[in-house]
Chains A and B, each alone.
Chain A
Amino acid sequence: MSIYVESVLTFTSITCITVCGLYILTGLTGMFSLGQASFMALGAYAAAVLGKLYHWPFIPCLLVGIILSVVTGFLSGYPIMRLRKEYLTLITLCYGEAIIALLNQSNITGGALGMSDIPKHTTLIIAILFLIFGIYFAWCFRHSKFGRMAIAIKSDELASKSMGINMAAVKMRSFLCAAGLAGLAGGLYAFYLQYVDPSLFGWRKSGEWVAWVFFGGVNSLTGSIVATFGLSALSQFFSRFADYQVLIYSAMVLLVLNFKPNGVFGYWELSDLFNTRDRRMQRLLKEAQTREGALKHEQT
C-alpha cells in the first residue's frame, strides 16, 4: 500500500471515530453539535503538549485528552440541557470559537503557528482498532437503556418527559459520549499528523461532518460510517479541485435531504443481514415514523 493511500485511510478512520460520537448525539438524541472539531482540538493539543514537552506515553495522553473534552463539555453543556435542543448547537459553536481563540493566544501551544515535531504513535492499524472500538461503543450505546431513552427524546421530548425520563441527564450523557469520542480522535490525529494548529479545527469542519452523516442516513450507524468513509476519502483524493468539490458535495447533500430525507441508507444496518430481531425493531420504528408523518399531515 502506498504511503498516500495509507494516510488517506488513517485520516478517514480517525474522522469516523468522531462520527461515531455524532451518531450518538445526532442520530440517536437529535441534537447537533458544531463543536466536535474543537473537542478534537482539545484532544489533539493535550496529546501534543504532553507527548512532546513532557514525553508521556501514548495511552495516558489520549486519556487526558478525553477527560479534558468531557469536563469542558460538561461545564459548557450544564446550563442548557434543560432548554431546547437548539441551544446546544449555538453553545457548541461559541465553545469552538472560544477554544480556537484560547489556542491562538496561549504560549505553551505555540499560538497561531501551532506545534510541530510531535512524536508519531498512530499507525493505520491503531487507527482502525480505535475505530472498531468507537463503532462498538456506539452500537452498545444504541442497544442499551440509554440509547432507547435517547431515541425516545429524539422523537418526542414532551412525551418522553412525561414518561419519567430525565431529559437533561440523557441529553448530557449523549453529549459527553460524543465529546469524549471526539477527544480520542483528536489525540490520534495529533499523533499521526505530528503537527497541530488552531486553524485545523474550525466549526466548518464540524458542519461538514453533520452533512456527511445526513447524507448516509442519520438513523443508521452503517449509513453514517459508510458515507463518512466515502465522502471524506473522496474529498482527500480530489483535494486539488477543492473549490468545485465542496459545491458538488453540498449540492448532493441538499438533493438527498430534499428527496430522500432519511439519507441513502435510511434505517438499514449491516447487522440486519444476520439479525431478525433487529429487523423487527427497525420495522416498528419505521411504522412509528409514518404514523407521525401522517399525524403531522393531518394537523396542517
Chain B
Amino acid sequence: MAITAFVQTLFNGLAIGGSYSLIAVGFCLVYSIMKFTNFAHGSMISAAAFVSYWVCNRFNLGLLGSLFAAIAAGALIGSITEFLAFRRIEKKSASNFYFFVSSLTWGTFVEQLVNNGVGIRALAFPKFYPSLSLKITVFGTKYTIMTNYLYMFVSAVIVLGLLFVFLYKTKYGRAIRATSFDRDTANLMGINVAMTIQIVFILAGIMAGVGGVFLGVKNKIYAQLGSDVVTKGFISSVLGGLGSVYGAVIGAFVLGVVEQFLVYFVGSNMARVVIFVLMLVFLLIRPQGISGVMVKDKA
C-alpha cells in the first residue's frame, strides 16, 4: 500500500467516522438516559434529510441553509418521537422492552411515511460544492480529497464540540448526566426528568439531521437511508462501551478508519463480515468497550 493511498484512506476513514459518530452519539444519548436501544434513530435520519431536501429545493438554499433546515427538522422529529412513541409508556414505567418494540414500530412507521413521500426514485440534493474533489499537495505528493468528506469531517467535529460544551458546561447538560446516572435520585434532587428526556431526544434529532444531510449528499436520499447506516452507529457505541458518549465518538472514528482500510483490502461486502467478526472478538476480550464504562442493573 503506497503512502499516498494510505493517507487518503486514513482521511476518508476519519471523515466517514465523523458521520458515524453523529449517529452513534445520538443513539447513545438516548440509550444512556432511557436504557433501551432506539431503533427509531435510523428513520429520524431519513426523515430529517428528506425534510431538509424539501426545504432546500423550495427556497433554493445552499449547504448551510440545508443544514439548519435539517437541524430544525431533526429537533422537531425528535420531540415528536418522544411524545408519540415513548411518553405514555414512560409514564406507566413499563419494562424497557416495550420501549424497544415501540421504537422499532415507530421507526417502521416514519420510514414508510418517508417512503410514500419520496417514491421509488432516490432523491439527490442539488450541487452544493463548486467541485467534487480538491487536490492538495503536501510534501510534493498530490492528494485528492472529496469535498463532501472534508465538510462532513469539519462539521461533525464542530457539532460534537458544541455537544460536549452543552453536556459539560451547562445546567441542562448536567441534568442529562445526572438523569443518566440515576433517574430516581435526579428526580428527587429537583431535576425535571420528563423535560430532560425531551431535551435528549431533541439533541438526538439534531445529530440525526446533520448526519442525514451529509449522508444524503453522499448516497442520495431514500427511505432506508437511515436504517442502512444506523448499524454503524450501533457498532460504534458497542465498541466504545454502550451508554458512554465519549466512547461512542472514539468507537465511531475507529470503526470508520478500520472499515475504509478493510474496503480497500477486501472489498465492501467482505468488510462487513470482517467487522462483525472483529467486533465479536473485541467483545470477548473487552466487553466494557473502549471507555470501560458498563451500564449495570442496580439492586
Contact = CB atoms under 8 A, between A and B. Distances in A.
B273 to A, nearest CB: 5
A93 interface: yes
A246 B106 CA distance: 11
B101 A257 contact: yes
A30 B96 CA distance: 10
B89 A247 contact: no
Interface in B146-162: none
Contacts of B287: 79-80, 82-83
B80 interface: no
B112 A250 contact: yes
Contacts of B14: none
A158 B97 contact: no
Interface string B271-292: 1110111011101100100000
Contacts of B184: 299-300
B89 A243 contact: no
Residue in A30, A105, A299 whose Cβ sees the most chain B Cβ within 10 Å: A105
B141 interface: no
Contacts of A243: 112, 115-116
Nearest to B110: A250
Given A101-B270, A243-B112, A243-B115, A95 B276 contact: yes
A206 to B, nearest CB: 10
B198 interface: no
Contacts of B37: 86, 89-90
A98 B276 contact: yes
B277 to A, nearest CB: 8
A157 to B, nearest CB: 6
Nearest to A259: B88
B66 to A, nearest CB: 27
Residue in A75, A82, A97 whose Cβ sees the most chain B Cβ within 10 Å: A97
A116 to B, nearest CB: 21
B199 to A, nearest CB: 19
A76 B275 CA distance: 13
Contact of B101 (A78, A210, A299): A210
* B interface majority secondary structure: helix
A232 to B, nearest CB: 15
A247 B92 CA distance: 25
Interface residues of B, number: 55
Given A211-B105, A246-B108, A94 B89 contact: no
A94 B279 contact: yes
B242 A32 contact: no
Nearest to B227: A204
Contacts of B36: 86
Nearest to A77: B280
Nearest to A208: B108
B184 to A, nearest CB: 6
Contact of B276 (A94, A254, A300): A94
A290 to B, nearest CB: 12
Nearest to A211: B105
Contact of A32 (B95, B97, B277): B97
A297 B109 contact: no
A32 to B, nearest CB: 6
Nearest to A80: B283
B178 interface: no
Nearest to A82: B287
A294 to B, nearest CB: 11
B165 interface: no
Residue in B116, B281, B283 whose Cβ sees the most chain A Cβ within 10 Å: B283
A254 B235 CA distance: 27
B39 A207 contact: yes
Given A94-B276, A247-B112, A261 B98 contact: yes
Contacts of A95: 276
Contacts of A94: 231, 234-235, 275-276, 279
Contact of B242 (A87, A93, A211): A87
A86 B242 contact: yes
7 contacts: A80-B283, A86-B37, A95-B276, A105-B270, A247-B116, A254-B106, A257-B105
Q: Which 9 pairs from chain A and chain B are nearest by CB?
A: A98-B276, A101-B272, A250-B109, A79-B284, A105-B269, A79-B283, A101-B269, A246-B112, A258-B88
Given A87-B238, A250-B112, A261-B92, 15 more contacts: A30-B97, A76-B276, A79-B287, A86-B31, A86-B37, A90-B238, A97-B272, A157-B297, A204-B108, A204-B227, A244-B116, A247-B116, A250-B105, A258-B102, A297-B93
